[in-house]
Chain A
Amino acid sequence: MRATDLFDNYLNNSLNSEEKADFEQRLANDKSFEHAFNQHRVLLDTLNLSAKRANFKNKLKAIHENEYGKSSRIIPLSENFARSFGKTAAVAATTALIAVLSTIAILSAGGYLLKQQNTQLSELNRKVLQLEASSDAIVSGITKPKIVYAPANLEGSAFALNNKGYIITSYHMVSGADSIFIRNTSTERTLAHIILGDPTLDLAILKINDSSLVKNWQVPFVLKEKTTDVGEKVFTLGYPRKDMVYGEGSLSSLSGYFNDTAMYQISIPVNPGNSGGPLLDDNGNVIGVIRGKLTSSEATGFAVKANEIIRSINAMANDSSKKDLLAQGKKSSLKNMKRSEQIKKINPYVFNVLVYKKE
């Protein structure tokens, strides 16, 4: 048994009296054991106190907002969201909104403590934005559009890995999902399922359920294994809104958040919903997947490097699926094309991901 398990069992009172006596004996005789145990206890106490304070502060915030109003909105609302949701869905969403806001309050309570010297990586899904939008839909009393889908719990971006119907997106979005849909201008809302997930790199590989939809796929870009240089121009396509949005900038660093060498830092202002979108270089090679941004800075984004994606797929997949997963075209067919032409070609292979999960 690992020492930490022993510590946990002791603290939970789940040792029998003999084990407990042994444990205490060891504490008394073994200085380094005692030291390790004390550290363990301090760590857990701090964790729990932190949660407790955040919880209590959350309560106070609720009281305050209730009595004196909110001083500022968390995230501005973009209008076009409101239009796509029906009234019924909006009512359901409001309940969810309350839940989400209270989570945010907890998070921001933590954030308040940190804000002096620390910044956090924020994951760019569109949860709040969307829920706020749908609750605003109630206020403005919007009528039902023809087909009403319940609003997804999370939305983000994704892109095709190859012609076989595999799609890359962010793990944090799709993990624990009840159902995952993808859509874009050329593909109607369709189901996909998770094939592989790598929480460490925040990567997930999905596959479109209906294989007939991908028969004619000709993915124009390939994953570029070679590291791209700092200063290279890069761009991304994603779904921070219902429509695809283009963003460009340059590669600012070969390492990401906290010097994470698995990530690039980029100077593209990425927004909620960009998570899971492709990062491409001038020639239309995929050099990474958008992962998040610094909460403290609008124009600092992070992307997981393409070679890490390949490495991760290699590590995760079994031999038979590996071949399918890593089947790539020879090279990007987008070289020497005008950017707008490139985007036209890429467009069908970048998706809006809609995730439904039980909270």
Chain B
Amino acid sequence: MSKTRVQFTDDDFIAGLRTGNNEILNVLYKKYYNIVLKFIVNNSGTEEAARDIYQETVIVLYENAQKPGFELNCQLQTYIYSVAKRLWLKQLKKNGKTFLFKDDAENEVVDVSSDMNEYLDKETEIEKMNQSLAELGEPCATLINDFYVHRLSMDDIADKFGYTNADNAKNQKYKCLQRLKKYFFENHNRTLETEKEKNESDRFI
């Protein structure tokens, strides 16, 4: 705790987020947490809710900071406060508890709609994806992630999942991917047929 505090400017923070500087992220996180905590707790939220909302807020900031044209039009603190406030209001709305929302004039608010909406839209997609992956089950979900996210080679995948060769693994990945597409784009309208198909097509070794 005796460490000397380095003072970062808002620009330092944004630049740090862009380059993925963990130390700067660390300082940023601690610097603004209390503002959000105070706001949420004063608006009938728990500490845990504050943590979750704050983390989402930092993600919004992080993702927007990655964009080449991103420019902060206000103080970083105002930006963070505004996003957190909107996210919390949305959550209260969802639970039908808007009446619990106290608007305080203490902090200035800026319009963060476009930054936020993009985050929320993507979040919906991700939820849909997670649902589809859960539906897809194992080993398909891991296989798809290993290939498309972790970029493992088919040989490595064959090795990891116990397929006899890379071609075999590739076939399996193909089947998994087709199913994932089905779940993801057909909005989980599974029919008995796909169920049957799933049981048939995935039997291997």
Give residues in A with beta carbon < 8 Å to B: 2, 4-5, 39-40, 42-44, 46-51, 53, 56-57, 59-61, 63-64, 67-68, 71, 110, 112-114, 118, 120-121, 123, 172, 175-176, 196-200, 202, 257-262, 312, 315-316
Chain B 57-78 interface 0/1 with A at a Cβ cutoff of 8 Å (1 = within): 0110011000000000000000
Tell me the dominant secondary structure on chain A's binding face: helix
Q: In whole angstroms, what is the CA distance A63 to B25 when docked? A: 9
B40 interfacial contact with A, CB 8 Å? no
B144 interfacial contact with A, CB 8 Å? yes
Q: List A contacts of B106 (CB < 8 A).
A: none
Which one, B126, B160, B202, contacts A49 given CB within 8 A? B126
Question: Which of B3-11, B47-55, B81-89 touches A?
Answer: B47-55
Report whether B205 and A198 are in contact in the complex, using a CB–CB cutoff of 8 Å. yes
Nearest Cβ distance between residue B119 and chain A, in whole angstroms?
Answer: 9
Q: In whole angstroms, what is the CA distance A202 to B137 when docked? A: 10
Report whether B55 and A39 are in contact in the complex, using a CB–CB cutoff of 8 Å. no
Q: In whole angstroms, what is the CA distance A48 to B137 when docked? A: 18
Nearest Cβ distance between residue B64 and chain A, in whole angstroms?
Answer: 13
**Residue contacts A-B, CB under 8 angstroms, 18 given:** A4-B178, A5-B174, A44-B148, A46-B184, A47-B129, A47-B144, A47-B149, A53-B59, A53-B63, A59-B25, A64-B55, A110-B130, A121-B134, A121-B137, A199-B162, A259-B190, A315-B203, A316-B205
Report whether B55 and A60 are in contact in the complex, using a CB–CB cutoff of 8 Å. yes
B19 interfacial contact with A, CB 8 Å? no
Report whether B130 and A50 are in contact in the complex, using a CB–CB cutoff of 8 Å. yes
Report whether B130 and A39 are in contact in the complex, using a CB–CB cutoff of 8 Å. no
Chain B 156-177 interface 0/1 with A at a Cβ cutoff of 8 Å (1 = within): 0000111000000000001001
The 4 closest A-B pairs by CB, nearest first: A199-B139, A200-B202, A50-B126, A51-B149
Q: In whole angstroms, what is the CA distance A189 to B76 when docked? A: 60
Give residues in B with beta carbon < 8 Å to A: 22, 25-26, 29-30, 33, 47-48, 51-52, 55, 58-59, 62-63, 122-123, 125-131, 134-135, 137-139, 144-145, 148-149, 160-162, 174, 177-178, 180-181, 184-185, 190, 195, 199, 202-205
Nearest Cβ distance between residue A63 and chain B, in whole angstroms?
Answer: 5
Report whether A67 and B30 are in contact in the complex, using a CB–CB cutoff of 8 Å. yes
Cβ-Cβ contact count across A and B, 8 Å cutoff: 122
With contacts A60-B58, A198-B203 taken as known, whether A46 is within 8 angstroms of B125 at the C-beta atoms is: yes
Q: In whole angstroms, what is the CA distance A316 to B205 when docked? A: 6
Q: In whole angstroms, what is the CA distance A260 to B136 when docked? A: 11
Report whether B55 and A175 are in contact in the complex, using a CB–CB cutoff of 8 Å. no
Report whether B148 and A47 are in contact in the complex, using a CB–CB cutoff of 8 Å. yes
Report whether A258 and B149 are in contact in the complex, using a CB–CB cutoff of 8 Å. no
Q: In whole angstroms, what is the CA distance A262 to B202 when docked? A: 13
Report whether A4 and B177 are in contact in the complex, using a CB–CB cutoff of 8 Å. yes
With contacts A114-B130, A121-B134 taken as known, whether A57 is within 8 angstroms of B203 at the C-beta atoms is: no
Nearest Cβ distance between residue B150 and chain A, in whole angstroms?
Answer: 8
Report whether A259 and B195 are in contact in the complex, using a CB–CB cutoff of 8 Å. yes
Q: List A contacts of B148 (CB < 8 A).
A: 44, 47-48
Nearest Cβ distance between residue A162 and chain B, in whole angstroms?
Answer: 20
The closest CB in chain B to the CB of A202 belongs to B138
